Structure 1
Amino acid sequence: MTERISYVATHGTSMNPVYYEGDLVFVVKADSYHVGQIVAYHGDVPGQRVLHRIISGDGAAGFVIKGDNNESIDPLTPTTEEMIGRAVLHVPHGGIWLKPLLGPSGLGMLSFLVVGGEVTARTRRDIPRGRRKKKVKAMSRQGGPWAAAAAVLKAVERLPPVLRVAAAVATALTVCALVLGILGWMKPIVEKQAGETTPEQSLAFSYTTKVPKSAAYDSTTVTAPEPIFRKLASSAVLHTRYKGPAGTLNLQATLTNGTGWHTTQTWVQKKSFPGPTYDSTITLDFAALARRADDAARAIGVAPNGSVNIALGATVESKGLSSLSAPLQIAITPFQMALTGNTQLETKAGGTVSQTVVPRELRIFGVSLMSASQARSNAILALIGAVAIAVVVLLAARRRMPMRTRAEIENRYPQLLVHVEPMPSPPGKPVVNVDNFPALVKLAEKYGQMILTWRRPDADDFVVRDEGITYRYRVPLDEPTLQNVELINRPNGAGSHRRKASSSSQVS
C-alpha cells in the first residue's frame, strides 16, 4: 500500500461487538504497531482486506492477529511493511450507505458537486468567453463522462442566480457534512474527564513483643509477621497506625473457636483525631484470650483446646471520603500466636484522580463549538440538505442542458414535432438561430405552432415559423456545438462556397 489512508467495509461477525456487518472503518498506515491495536492487512484472496486485532508478535517477524469474535488466530502473520494501517475512524453502517459513493459513479458525482460549486462562485464574465468555449469544446470532444460533465457545467452556468447560489450552498453543506462527520465519528461521543485527586489514606497493623535470648530468635524483639511462641512470650503489643486526613478510628475483634461460637469486642472506641497521623496500641494477652474461648466451649459442652481465632477490623471515617477498612486475621494456639490467611498488614486508598464521563466537545482554539453527538446529527442534516438542494439544481440544470441528438429531442417532445421534407426559408425573410431546444419549444408554445423537423446530410433542423420569421435549432451530426461549424450552402444547385452559420443564413 502506498497510500496513507484507506478504508475497510466490514463483512461477517469476526469483530463483534466492536464492528458489525456493513460498518465502515478508515485506517491510517503507521510506522509501527503494537499489541491491542485493530489493524487491516491484505488477505490471501486478491482484493481481500482483513480487519482484526493484534494479540502478539512484532513488526519484524510478523504479528499474530485474531478476530475478537473468532476462536482461532489468523493464518497470516503480516509484518509492519505488509500492513494497510490501523483503525482510526469507525462509521456504523457506513459501508452500506457509503458503498455507492465510494464507487466510480459516486466519486464522479461528488467531484461534480465540488466543481459545480466552484463554477457558481464565479460569474461567466470572470472567464474570457473564447477560452471558456474552447475548454468546453475540448472536453466535449472526449465524449463519455467528460462530455456529460461539460454539458452539466454549462447548464449550471445558464441557471438563474438563485439556483447558482443554491448549487454553492449544496457544495458548502457537503463539505460541512464531511468535516462534521469526520470529527463526530472519529472518537466516541463521550470521554472521561479528570476530576479532583482523592487524598491518600493508609491503615497499617504491626505487633511487637520482648522474648528472652534463645535459639528460637535472632534477637530479643519479635515483630510482625513472625509468629510468637507462647513458651517464650505471653503477650504482644498490637499497633494500629493511620495516615491521612482527620477523622475517627475504631477497632473491633471477633473471637471464634471453631464450634460456631463467636463474640465481638470493641478494642478501640471510635475516637476523633486531627491527622495526618494517628497511632493506637493495645496489649494482646494470649492466655486471657484463649481462656475466653475455652469458657465458651465449656458452656456449650465442648472440650476446651486452648485456642482462639481473632478477626480484627479497623475502620476510619473521614469527612467527604469513603470509609477505609483494614482486616487482620490472628490465630492463638497453646503453641504460638501467628497471622493466618492472606491478610496484608497495610491497606491503602485514595491518591487517584477521579474521572467522570462527559459528552465529548469539538473545540477550536479552546472554544467549544458543539458536542460530538450534535456534530453527528448536524452532519446528517447537512448531508440531507445538500442532497435535496443538489437534486433540485441537477433537475433544473438537466432541463437546460442542450439536447445533442435527435433521439433525445424526440423522446422528450414527441407531441410537438412534425416530420417534413427539407424546406427552404422564404426569400428575404430573417432566420434566427436559437442556441438550445427548450428555447425553441417556448417559441412554439408562444405562437401556437408545431415544430417542423427534417434531416440534412450534415445536421438535423428543427424550425418554428411565425409572421415570416424562421426560428431554427440545428443539431450537427459531427459535434454537439454550433460554434465554429462550417456549413456548405449550394443555392439552386449552382457552385458551392463556404460560410459560417449565422442568424441570417438561409435554410436549404
Structure 2
Amino acid sequence: MTSPSKVASTSALAALVLVTVWLFLPTTLGGSMTYVATHGTSMEPDFHAGDLALLSPADGYDVGDVVAYRSETLDTVVMHRIVSVDAAGFVTQGDNNDWLDEDRPAEEEILGRLFVRIPHGGQVIGAVSSPGVLFSLAGGMLVLLGGLHDPRGRRTAGWLRRRRAGARSARGPARHAHARTRSGFATSTRGRARQVAVGAAGIALVAAVACGVLLALPPTATETRTVDVTQRSDFSYSGTAETGTTYPTGAVETGDTVWNRLVEDLTVTAATSVSGPDLAGVTGTVRLDVLVAAQDGWSAVLSSGPVAAFEGGTASAAVAVDTDAALDLLRRHQEETGSSGGGGTLTVTPVSETTGTVHGRPFTATPPAGLVFALDDAALRPLGTEAADLSPSTATPVEIEEVGPRSLQLLGLSVPIGTARKTAGAALLLSLVALGAGAWVSRTGRGDVSDRFLVRHADRILPVTSFQPGATVIDVSDAESLHRVAERFDTVVLHHAGEEEDTFAVRDVDATYRFVVPVAGDRRRGRPPVPAAQPAESTTVVDGRLRGLWGQVA
C-alpha cells in the first residue's frame, strides 16, 4: 500500500471513530445521547430494574414512542411511553402502570426517544463506577500498559544495568551475575511470575464466563409458594333438661350425652373464622345443616339454620336440633327399604361460601367438617369430645407468585445474584491485575530463546559458572527437547551464561545433551564477565543444589 493510500485509510478510520464517539457521546459531555438506568417496575415486561436505555433526540414524537423527560413532580428523569396528546402536552404512562403520569412534557422538554436497550447495563455501570472498582481498574490498566509497553524490558533493563554497574563498582564483581536477568528480577522469580500469570489467566477466563452468565440472568425471579387459608368452626351445644340425677343443673352442656326423654330445645352453635397471612376482603355467609344418615349409607338433610354473614373474618351460626324428628326420618327410611332397625348418625355441618384475598391472590375457603352424633332411640351421643372433634378446621392452599431478587444455590447456600455478580466481577478484576503483573515480571528481560527457556522452566534450571562435558556430546535441536531429556532422566538442566553464548546441558552417565544459544552482539556488550573456573571438591553446593555429580563445576 502506498503512502497516500495509508493516509487515506487512516483518515477514514479516524473519521469513523470520531463519528461513532459523537453519536454515543452523552449529553453531559456535549453529545446528544441520553443514558437512563431504569428503576422500579413501571416499564415491565420490556424493561427491568437495572437495565440501561439509550435515547436520542428526534424531529418529532408520536403516540407509542418510549421517551424520557425530567419530571417536575418527581424531580427525576422519567422514561415512559406516549399514550396520547392533549392541549397541555404529551400524555405518558408506564407500560406496567394503570394510571397516567401527572406531568405533561412539551416536545422541547423531551430528552429523546428510545434508541436501544441494554439489559443489566445500568447495573454494570453502577458497579464499575464505584470508587473501589475504579481504583482497581486504574491499577490494573497501569500494570497492563506497563506489561505491553517495552515488552523486552530494554529501557528498564538499561536503567537497572546502569544502577547495578555502579553498585558493583563499589562492592566488587558479582560471582553469579548470570543468575539474575538484565531486568533485575531473578530467573526463579520470573518463573514463578509466569506460573502466576498462567493461573490468573485461567481464573480470569472462568470469572469472565461467570460474569457473562450472571449478567445475562434477570435480576429478579418469580417464585411460587403455597400458603394456607384456614377455616375453623368451634362447635358448642346446649339445651334445657329435666333437673335430676342425670342433669343436676337442668341444662345440657357441650360434651354431655343428650338423653332424648330428658332434653328439650337442643341448639348447636358454630363460631366460624377464617385466618391466613396478609388476609383481606373476607366476605361470605355460613349456615348449619342437620344431616341424618343410616348405617346403609343413606342420608338426608333434616333442617337448616339461618344464614350468618362474615364480619371481620368471623361468623356465628346456630341451628335447632329436633331429635324426635331425626328418629322419625330414620325409621321411615328403614320401613321403606325393609332394612333392619338400628341407629344412625346426626351431623351438624357448616355450609359456607367464603371468599377473600391472601397476598393479593383470591381464594374460596373450604368449609370444615361437621359435629357428628350417634343417633338411637335413647340418646344423641357426640362421637368425639376432643378439641379436634369440637373444633374441626380445613386448609385451603393458595399459590402465591412473588417477584423478588434472584438467588443462586451454591454449595447448599442461597447467594443473591447481586452478591454473585460482585464476587465474579471482583475475581475477574483481581485475576486481570495478577495476570498483568505476572506477565510484566515474567516478560521483562532479554526476550530471546534462552531467556524464555529460563523463565518457562526455572524450577529445573541450575546456573553454573562452568562445567566439563562428558566423553559424548549430543546437540539437540531445540531447548524444549533438552527439557524433555531432563524430565526423562529426572535431573536438572545446567545453564552456563557465557560471553558469546548460553549453554544448556543435561548430563547422563556417558553422554552430555547440549543446546547452545548464541548471544546477539548488541546484548553481548552488556553481559558481565564470566568468573574464572575454580577447582571444586567432589561435591559443591551452587544455589542450594548438589553439583559435584556433573564433573568439574565452580
Is the structural similarity TM-score above 0.5? no
State the TM-score, normalizing by the size of structure 1: 0.42
Specify which structure has the higher proportion of helix.
2
